[in-house]
Structure formats: structure tokens, C-alpha cells
């Protein structure tokens, strides 16, 4: 294979985020992770596993899930909508209402 062909297939690694999921269960087990930022500094984060893949759960999402649970205590599934990037990233956390059977 030629270098240009390999380069065109290359996709830089990206940390998956719960906002990448259609929905997730509030009873998902949470794990502690550790990573390195662009400056080489170590940071800690929380993540859940879905089908053996890891999805980071930002602190602001955890806080929003807590607020949602206080308002709607029986919520079982959550969906997260992410907008913006970097310091201007915003997350909207809401109950997931579509039946699981309808998810493809």
C-alpha cells in the first residue's frame, strides 16, 4: 500500500463520550480513568462501558443526571446532546423516551 493511501484511511484517535451514544442506562457501572492532555498533563475522568467500549462521562453530565433524577426519580435511560467544542462545550441531558426495541 502506498503512503498516501494509508494516510487517507487514517482517523486520529478520539475519546468517546456518552453524547456519542443514542442512550444509556442510569444503572451503568461507572469506572475511573486516567488520561493525558495535549500538554502532557495527567487528568482523571469517569467513564461507562457499553459493548466493551469506554465512553467518558463529563462532570457536568453527572451533575445534570443528578438534577434530572431529583426532578424525575424513575428515569432509567438518559440521552445527552452535545454542542460546541473545547471550553464552549454544552451538554443537554434528558430522559430517553424512545422504546429500546425501536433502537437499531
3-state secondary structure the chain: CCHHHHHHHCCCCCCCEHHHCCCEECCCCEEEEEEECCCCCEEEEEEEEECCEEEEECHHHHHHHHHHHHHCCCCCEEEEEEECCHHHCEEEEEECCCCHHHCC
Q: What percent of the chain has pLDDT over 90?
A: 70
pTM exceeds cut of 0.85: no
Answer yes or no: is 3 within a domain. Answer: no
Answer yes or no: is 6 within a domain. Answer: no
Answer yes or no: is 7 within a domain. Answer: no
Answer yes or no: is 27 within a domain. Answer: yes
Residue range of the domain that includes 76: 13-102
Res. 1 pLDDT band, cuts 50 70 90: confident
Answer yes or no: is 82 within a domain. Answer: yes
Which residues are CB-neighbours of 68 under 8 A, at least 6 positions away? Answer: 75, 78, 93, 94, 95
Dump pLDDT digits (tens) for 44-69.
Answer: 999 999 998 999 999 999 999 999 99
Dump pLDDT digits (tens) for 12-28.
Answer: 767 799 999 999 999 99
Q: Work out how many domains the chain is built from and give that number.
A: 1
Answer yes or no: is 1 within a domain. Answer: no
Answer yes or no: is 4 within a domain. Answer: no
Amino acid at each position: 500500500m502506498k503512503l498516501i493511501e494509508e494516510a487517507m484511511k487514517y482517523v486520529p484517535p478520539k475519546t468517546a463520550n456518552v453524547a456519542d451514544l443514542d442512550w444509556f442506562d442510569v444503572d451503568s457501572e461507572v469506572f475511573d480513568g486516567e488520561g493525558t492532555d495535549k500538554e502532557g498533563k495527567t487528568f482523571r475522568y469517569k467513564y461507562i462501558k457499553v459493548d466493551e467500549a469506554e465512553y467518558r462521562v463529563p462532570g457536568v453530565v453527572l451533575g445534570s443526571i443528578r438534577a434530572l433524577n431529583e426532578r424525575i426519580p424513575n428515569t432509567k435511560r438518559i440521552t445527552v446532546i452535545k454542542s460546541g467544542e473545547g471550553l464552549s462545550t454544552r451538554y443537554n441531558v434528558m430522559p430517553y423516551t424512545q422504546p429500546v426495541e425501536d433502537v437499531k
